[in-house]
A = this chain, B = another copy of it.
Amino acid sequence: MAVYSWSEKVMKLLSRMNNFYLAGSCRADCCRFEIEGSQVGWIPPHVTSLLTGYPEVFSSPNGGAVSLCPSLDSYQKRSEAVDAVLQSLRGEDSLGCLKGWRDEKYRVMPKFSDPPLMWMERAATSLFGVKRYGVHINGYTVSNSGEVSMWLGRRSPTKQTYPGLLDNLAAGGLSADVSIKHTLVKECQEEACIPAAIAEKALHVSTVSYTYEDEEGVFPECQFVFDLELPLDFRPRVGDGEVQEFYLLPIDKVKELLATDDFKPNCAMVALDFLIRHSFIDPDTEPFYQEFLAGLHQTL
């Protein structure tokens, strides 16, 4: 069995989280998902064929694109028509990801800076390769002697996705009509019982962007990253049950863990970004320093 170095394991993680860009991905077989002539996602082939059953909502594939019918000419009409299709598909039970229906509305738009053209149920976004945005918070402490430690959560064993894996201090998806800052404060409170007065001190410092595919679809994602230095005497507590336990770990231990399967992959990327920004990785000794940064910021 091949033995990989830490650097190689991290490169494998970044490559896996960007596998949609690799030769041989489903990308060549995907249709662009277009609304009013602008691309808002990528539809994998198994979904394209299902959508032909709903000609009043989706056009037939044409020039490599599937469009919403032009009669759906408003935010509300588009959202409701697509939601009705998704409810119908959910009933048919053919798409595994719809079993994870959350009743969370995500914005759909060409770019983050564009006005949203519709909303879509969170669990369905991967069927359309619609980009999802979220917030991740690195919680850390600095001891009196200057040693940095990081708070990690372990996800509940009953979480729908990635049960039992290591996670950042707190994280959450960005729903329609909610600000990044608001989401940050809310997730800190709900997941880790961090009072707003502390959470509001978090600093916006980075993003982590990537696109992966799996059997459930295409996942272009962008996480807005915050750093939150916590007081030495503060301990996050399990809140809404999404996390089973919090650990305060020395930064070397975090570095070691992020290259293992014990870490939720995108959370490992967020921790890697922290390590780079806080000067814990040395470009003179880390051969893939530059590739790490490129892998953390891939966008279509």
Contact = CB atoms under 8 A, between A and B. Distances in A.
A171 to B, nearest CB: 15
A1 B282 CA distance: 46
Contacts of A299: 290-291, 294
A149 interface: no
Contacts of A180: 283-284
B224 A294 contact: no
A294 B209 contact: yes
Contact of A209 (B279, B282, B284, B290): B290
Given A203-B279, A204-B282, A224-B283, 10 more contacts: A181-B284, A204-B279, A204-B281, A207-B283, A207-B289, A209-B293, A222-B290, A290-B299, A293-B297, A296-B297
A283 B111 contact: no
Contacts of A276: 205-206
A288 B113 CA distance: 6
A281 B180 CA distance: 13
B297 A112 contact: no
A112 B205 CA distance: 26
Contacts of A283: 180, 204, 207, 224
A111 B112 CA distance: 32
Interface string A147-179: 000000000000000000000000000000001
